[in-house]
Amino acid sequence: MRADLAASYGEERLPRYTSYPTAPHFSKAIGPDTYGRWLAELPASASASLYLHVPFCREMCWYCGCHTQIVRRDELIAGYQRTLRNEIVQVAETIGRRIKVEHIHFGGGTPTIMMPEAFAELMATMRQKFFVLPSAEVAVEIDPRTLTADMVEAMRLSGVNRASLGVQSFDPVVQRAINRVQSFEQTASVVEQLRHAGIVGINFDLIYGLPHQTVASCLDTVRRSLTLAPDRFSVFGYAHVPEFKKHQRMINEGVLPDGLARHDQACAIANALKEAGYVQIGLDHFARPDDSMAVAFEERTLRRNFQGYTTDKGEVLLGFGASAIGHLPQGYVQNEVQIGAYAQSIAAGRPATAKGYGLTDDDRLRADIIERIMCEFSADLGDICARHGAEAGAMLNSAARLKPLISDGVVRLEGNRLAVAKDSRFLVRSVAAAFDAHLNPAKQLHSRAV
3 state DSSP class of 111: helix
Query: In this predicted structure, what is the pLDDT of residue 423?
Result: 85
Q: Treating both helix axes as pointing N-terminal to C-terminal, what angle do 32-40 and 74-95 enclose, rounded to 10 degrees? A: 50
Cβ contacts of residue 91 below 8 Å, gap of 6+? 39, 318, 320, 351
Topology of the domain comprising 24-320: TIM Barrel (3.20.20)
The whole-angstrom separation of Cα 71 and Cα 60 is 10
- Phi and psi at residue 396, to the nearest 5°: -65, -40
Cβ contacts of residue 265 below 8 Å, gap of 6+? 208, 209, 213, 214, 215, 218, 257
Query: Residue ranges of the domains in the chain?
Result: 1-23+360-450, 24-320
Neighbours of 250 (CB within 10 A): 14
Top CATH class of 1-23+360-450 equals: mainly alpha
Are 428 and 15 in contact by the 8 Å Cβ rule? The answer is: no
pLDDT, tens only, 121-168: 999 999 999 999 999 999 999 999 999 999 999 999 999 999 999 999
3 state DSSP class of 369: helix
pLDDT, tens only, 219-233: 999 999 999 999 999
The whole-angstrom separation of Cα 438 and Cα 433 is 9
Query: In this predicted structure, what is the pLDDT of residue 341?
Result: 98
Query: In this predicted structure, what is the pLDDT of residue 1?
Result: 59
Q: Which residues of the chain have pLDDT under 70?
A: 1-3, 10, 441-450
Are 190 and 147 in contact by the 8 Å Cβ rule? The answer is: yes
Cα diameter, the chain: 61
Query: In this predicted structure, what is the pLDDT of residue 363?
Result: 98
Query: In this predicted structure, what is the pLDDT of residue 44?
Result: 86
Cβ contacts of residue 284 below 8 Å, gap of 6+? 234, 235, 236, 237, 308
The whole-angstrom separation of Cα 415 and Cα 100 is 40
